[in-house]
Structure 1
Amino acid sequence: MTRRRATLGLAAALLALLLTACAGLPTTGPVNAGRPVTEEDGDTDVAFVPAGPSPGATPAQIVEGFIAAGSGTRSNWATAQEFLTTEFRATWRPQAGVTIYRAGERALSEPAEDEIVLTIAPEATVDAAGAYEVAGEGEIAIGFRLERAQGEWRIAEAPDGVILDETRFRSVFRSYELMYFDPSWHFLVPDLRWFPTTNAATRIAEALVDGAPSPWLAESVVTAFSADVDLAQRSVPVRSGVAQVSLESGARQLESGILDRMQTQLRESLAGAGIPEVDMLVDDQVLTAEAVSVAPTRIDSRPLVLTDDAFGFLSGTQIEEILGLSAAVRSVDAVAIEVAASRSFAAVQTAAGSTARVEAGAAVTEIDARRGLVGPTIDTEDYIWSVPAEDPGAVVAIGPDGAWHEIADAWSGATRLSAMRISRDGARIAAVVRDGAHPSVWVAGIVRNEDAVPVALSDPQLLAVLPGDGVGLAWGDATTLALSYTDGGQTFVLEQPVGGPGSSLRAPAGITTVAGGNQPGGVRLRDEDGELYVQRGASWQDQFSGVRVLATQQGTPR
Structure 2
Amino acid sequence: MTRGRRATVALALLLALAGVAGCASVPGSSPVQILRRVTDGETPVLPPGPVDGTDAGGLVRGFVEASGSSTDDHAAARQFLADGTAQDWDAGAGFTVLDSQFDTVPSPGAPDPSTDLTRIRIRGSSVGRVTPSGAFEPEQSPVQIDVTVVRTDGQWRISELPDGVVVPLDEFRTSYRDVRTWFVDPTRRVVVPDLRYLPAFPSRAQAARVMELLLAGPSGALLGAAGSQLGPEARLRSNVALAESGALIVDLTRVGDLDEVGRRLLAAQVVLSLADVNVARVRLLVDGIALLPDRPEISREDLADLTGDAQPGADVPALVAAGGRLRGFGASPSELPGPLGNGGYDVESAATTVDGQRLAAVARSAGRRLLLVGGGAEGGVAEVGLSAVDMTRPSWTPTGSEVWTVLDATTVARVLVDGAGGLRTGQVNADELAAFGPIQDLRLSRDGMRVVAVVAGGLYTAAVTRSIDGEAAVRNIRRLRPDDLGEVVSADWRSSEQVVAITRRPDRLVAQVSVDGLSVQGLLVNNLTPPLGAVAAAPSRPFLVTDQTGVWSFAGGDQDAWRQVLGGAPDAVPFYPG
Identify the TM-score tier after normalising by the shorter chain.
Answer: 0.7 to 0.9
Distance 1:144-1:461 versus aligned 2 partners, 3 A rule: same
CA–CA separation in structure 2 for the residues paired with 1:431 and 1:468 = 15
Query: Contact 2:502/2:511 (CA < 8 Å) preserved in 1?
Result: yes
Instruction: Indicate the residue corresponding to 1:386 in structure 2.
Output: 405
CA–CA separation in structure 2 for the residues paired with 1:255 and 1:399 = 29
Gaps of 5+ in 1: 1-34
The question of 1:66 aligning with 2:63 is answered yes
The question of 1:228 aligning with 2:271 is answered no
Query: Contact 1:241/1:275 (CA < 8 Å) preserved in 2?
Result: no
2:161 to 158, 171, 179: 158
Instruction: Indicate the residue corresponding to 2:429 in structure 1.
Output: 407
The question of 1:260 aligning with 2:264 is answered yes
Q: Provide, for residues 94-119 of structure 1, a one-character-per-residue CA deviation record: whole Å limited to 9, x for no partner.
A: 35553222334312325241543322
Amino-acid identity (%) = 21
The question of 1:140 aligning with 2:143 is answered yes
Query: Contact 1:37/1:240 (CA < 8 Å) preserved in 2?
Result: no
Gaps of 5+ in 2: 1-34, 112-116, 296-301, 418-422
Instruction: Indicate the residue corresponding to 1:509 in structure 2.
Output: 529
SS in 2 for 1:533: strand
Instruction: Indicate the residue corresponding to 2:6 in structure 1.
Output: none
CA-atom RMSD, angstroms? 3.6
Q: Provide, for residues 310-346 of structure 1, a one-character-per-residue CA deviation record: whole Å limited to 9, x for no partner.
A: 956646657797xxxx635324321111112343322
Query: Contact 2:210/2:274 (CA < 8 Å) preserved in 1?
Result: yes
Instruction: Indicate the residue corresponding to 1:6 in structure 2.
Output: none
Q: Provide, for residues 126-151 of structure 1, a one-character-per-residue CA deviation record: whole Å limited to 9, x for no partner.
A: 222222222334x3221334568899
Distance 1:234-1:442 versus aligned 2 partners, 3 A rule: farther
Which protein has greater RCO, CA pairs closer than 8 Å, 6+ apart?
2
2:212 to 206, 223, 226: 206
Instruction: Indicate the residue corresponding to 1:106 in structure 2.
Output: 103
Structure 1 residue 476 displacement after superposition: 0.7
1:327 to 338, 342, 347: 338
TM-score (norm 2): 0.76
Larger displacement relative to structure 2 (139-148 or 309-318): 309-318
The one-letter code matched in structure 2 to 1:123 is V
The one-letter code matched in structure 2 to 1:128 is P
Query: Contact 1:368/1:386 (CA < 8 Å) preserved in 2?
Result: no
1:496 to 504, 513, 525: 513
Query: Contact 1:442/1:464 (CA < 8 Å) preserved in 2?
Result: no
Distance 1:236-1:72 versus aligned 2 partners, 3 A rule: farther
Query: Contact 2:318/2:577 (CA < 8 Å) preserved in 1?
Result: no
The one-letter code matched in structure 2 to 1:430 is V
Distance 1:207-1:97 versus aligned 2 partners, 3 A rule: farther
Q: Provide, for residues 169-213 of structure 1, a one-character-per-residue CA deviation record: whole Å limited to 9, x for no partner.
A: 22222222221121012232222122222243333222122x232
Structure 1 residue 406 displacement after superposition: 4.5
Distance 1:152-1:526 versus aligned 2 partners, 3 A rule: closer
The one-letter code matched in structure 2 to 1:75 is D
TM-score (norm 1): 0.78
What is the total number of aligned residue pairs between the two structures? 502
SS in 1 for 2:60: helix
The one-letter code matched in structure 2 to 1:266 is V
Structure 1 residue 78 displacement after superposition: 2.1
Query: Contact 1:202/1:236 (CA < 8 Å) preserved in 2?
Result: no
CA–CA separation in structure 1 for the residues paired with 2:175 and 2:276 = 16
Structure 1 residue 428 displacement after superposition: 0.8
SS in 1 for 2:99: strand
The one-letter code matched in structure 2 to 1:125 is R
CA–CA separation in structure 1 for the residues paired with 2:369 and 2:157 = 67
The one-letter code matched in structure 2 to 1:526 is T
1:473 to 483, 491, 499: 491
Distance 1:318-1:275 versus aligned 2 partners, 3 A rule: farther
The one-letter code matched in structure 2 to 1:208 is L
CA–CA separation in structure 2 for the residues paired with 1:347 and 1:204 = 40
Instruction: Indicate the residue corresponding to 1:432 in structure 2.
Output: 454
The question of 1:358 aligning with 2:358 is answered no
Query: Contact 1:480/1:496 (CA < 8 Å) preserved in 2?
Result: yes
